[in-house]
Structure 1
């Protein structure tokens, strides 16, 4: 039994494995996939597939997420502007294997000591990286090095999420508020710590007798296009002064452009969204849905 924590851990298969070992890796990948789907069934996974021109990577072209076949490389997320693309390294665990792809498209890596698995799921707006803690001997902290845009930085928000900022201080991506659950669905205290360009997720197991496996999840969202579209609306002369003033009022009430983009994309908690709806979120969404850029980058397909 184990604990699953995100960011996702990908179960890797050894390149020299014989046929029986490969079957074993495939079964383990299916097990990890089932565990993370039980913990969070809300993500509509976009399958990873082998790239045609580079056998060292696995790519999900529909979502802009590039997955490394070797665990020593980084997961890349491509945003609206290629200069704003960024990457996240998988945790430095004991001998992570190469990636094995489960039937549902989840990529899975596995540590050589069997303590932890990593599952990566691509979705419409980014990637979910989950860590699966298989037992009491599994580590309680997992560090992810982020290759932020040149001149950019990581910023911890009041809600516990982390924004990736470019050199102008504009959020190009967001790691949503972390969560962790045991096999019974019980929530486990967890939080991020930021040190330079690294994010560490801490799973606070304490002395509680949790049911393994435990799944923990940082979920990365690409929000550049949505933030940019909202900023264009606010600064545009196309709309009436009254409409722009109304839109600005709502954006300020929701906590700024970044939090508004996350609300529109769905990269936020149910509690946050419920609070926003109480502040007129539905009215705001209706007022910007008719704007082509906002509809395309913030609403359509989310």
Structure 2
């Protein structure tokens, strides 16, 4: 490692997205130093790829998503689904400490945000494993060790039991999940673990790097990862579970291929159930709806839970018992026709 880089600290957020490539252009020495620093201290998570550079941004499209990396750090990183029917778009606003800076594309393809006077900087890298890392760089131990991210209107972080984060949008029928963030972690220049964790303040996610234990050698690298994709949640109380369970045998006979086209008509007599089934079809798939009724509902029906959460993510359903206040009250379910 270069001796001139011993006093830097690096914190990174990695966003799992699909990407194409970026032609590298020359950047001033300070930006190249940051790019070299990240190359030396950050874990090897794949090769940096190259995209299309304009005066305002770097765009990396592929068949599934388009990624726009701004050259003005006050503008957000944008990740948009190319399917116009999904409406999925996530923006990641860089921390306040770097928003006044202008991005430059380093020789390795990193977009570097830095000041000629040094100090706190940041970098965004698009990698060949369908990910993009958003990395903050602190010049020395007196610099910031917490960094705040926000994700656009209506998107809120939720802390999960294992310490990871889910970025969700609340709707009338449940939550739509836009991304997950792996558990926070950090390592110092000697490869020793440094405590790092998340805090949530309203709709903002704060990554904290805690060096209070001492014996920390800079640079410090922290690299959680966003996994961007569309997911959803459905919450069922005991009455709703019984109603949904009654439909499982008929949809099993229909099969997954026609689940949405045919089954939604069968559900029209129970508007509340039909509404949730339409919601699953819109944000999951016919297969997702079929699995919900034939695989998830029998499992939920056996549960004694007062409120059950069914979560759909990356083509798979999972269930767990949750606090009763997440579900609709029984009297309201009665009013809705359950």
Rate the CA distance shift 1:7–1:247 in 2: closer, same or farther, 3 A. Answer: farther
Q: 1:92 aligns with which of 83, 92, 96?
A: 96
Question: 1: CA distance between counterparts of 2:42 and 2:286?
Answer: 38
1:235 is aligned, of 289, 313, 327, to: 289
Is 2:136 the counterpart of 1:131? yes
CA drift at 1:126: 4.7
Residue of structure 2 in register with 1:181 after alignment? 187
Q: Name the SS for the 1:137 alignment partner.
A: coil
Say whether residues 1:7 and 2:3 are aligned partners: no
Structure 2 match to 1:171 = 177
Displacement of 1:106:
2.0
Matches of 1:204 and 1:155, distance apart in 2: 21
Bigger Rg, structure 1 or 2 = 2
TM-score (norm 1): 0.66
C-alpha contact (below 8 Å) 1:120/1:128 kept by paired residues: yes
Instruction: List aligned pairs for 1:219-298, cutoff 5 A.
Output: 219-224=225-230, 232-236=286-290, 241=294, 244=295, 257=311, 261=314
For 1:104, what is the secondary structure of its paired residue?
Answer: coil
- Greater share of strand residues, 1 or 2? 2
Give the whole-Å Cα distance in 2 for the aligned partners of 1:34 and 1:247: 50
- 1:68 — aligned with what? 70
CA distance in 2, matches of 1:117, 1:111: 7
Deviation, 1:138, is 1.6
For the residue of structure 2 that corresponds to 1:41, the secondary structure is coil
Query: SS at the partner of 1:45?
Result: coil
1:77 to 76, 79, 83: 79
Residue number in structure 1 paired with 2:335: none
- Residues 1:104 and 1:4: Cα distance change in structure 2 (over 3 Å): same
Report what 1:56 is aligned to: 56
Count of aligned positions: 238
SS in 2 for 1:167: strand
Supply the distance in 2 between the matched residues of 1:122 and 1:93 (Cα, whole angstroms): 22
Quote the Cα distance in structure 1 between the aligned partners of 2:221 and 2:310.
31
**Structure 1: 5+ residue runs without aligned partners?**
9-20, 265-302
Within 2, Cα distance between the matches of 1:133 and 1:47?
25
Which 5+ residue runs of structure 2 have no aligned equivalent?
1-5, 15-25, 234-279, 304-308, 318-338
Q: Secondary structure at the match of 1:139?
A: coil
- Distance of aligned partners of 1:141 and 1:262 in 2 relative to their CA distance in 1, 3 Å threshold: farther
Give the superposition deviation at 1:153: 2.7
What is the Cα-based RMSD across aligned positions, in Å? 3.6
- Once the two structures are superposed, the pairs formed by residues 9-48 of structure 1 within 5 Å of their partners are 22-35=27-40, 38-48=41-51
